[in-house]
Structure 1
Amino acid sequence: MSESAPSAEVSAVTTLPPPVSVTPQYQPDAGEVVVTWTLADDAPDGSIGVERSDDGGATWTTVATGLALADTEFVDTSISPGDPIYYRIVRSTAHATTRSDPAELLGPAVEVAIQSTNSPVEAGEPLEIPVEVTNLGGAGTETLTLEITEQ
């Protein structure tokens, strides 16, 4: 019986599924965002990172690296209210890196409250309406006064 020549070497690559259920939630009292996620794999090695985009996903900034696999949330305290903010989770092992789909943060927002007015007013006098605007992103409260006069 004769032996055949050794066959070519074959390598196998297991793909790493991206993290799922990425949910950023704005916490107005603290002025921060809590981002939560679920891993879709049970590989025992690697780490987690968090990326943020302030421009609709055109560019990404790393806001956390080296998080443990057991971690399922990250608190982002460096947000600026205004433009839409997106987050994605980076799952890395020694052999592969994968990213979740982007998840949009809904908020931050403002809260508007109308204070008491000087109503009723006499003809020719301005109606004053104080309006308190609170930036829920943590930038403070400002009171504006609207004056309505007869033309």
Structure 2
Amino acid sequence: MVFLDPAARHFYLDRAAASRATAGHLREASGIAPDHARLREVVRTLTARSPDFARLWTTHDVLAKTQDAKHLHHPVAGRLTLTYQSFDVRAAPGRQLVVYQAAPGTATAAALALRGSRTPPEDSSGSHGVRPGADPSRAGP
């Protein structure tokens, strides 16, 4: 998304930092698994389709995904700042668990709490969006 999706221009508030980090994380992954076919395919595709990625790839910067902050613009929730921490999964070498969170008491925490607490709006029939005659137990979220 960082390099090929036009929405990234608005989603990442610091797209340059997100681009550097993503290229650096891919560089690290390619050093760990240089023969991984899917990873090589991703790098080839990004190099061919994104001049920004191609430029960053030639710097050979390696960045481990450990902890950092991401500054995003969600189309509904607005500006968000999330920190992440990554953990190596010992039972699956090369895999990581990445946990994102908002600092308590921040505008981001409030925005995420609001988004998570929303329920579908009730329509005039009181059915919460369930079509007449439909089985309400099978209604989607």
Query: TM-score if structure 1 supplies the norm length?
Result: 0.22
Q: Which has the higher strand share?
A: 1
Q: TM-score, normalised by structure 2?
A: 0.23
Question: RCO (CA 8 Å, sep 6+): is it higher in 1 or 2?
Answer: 1
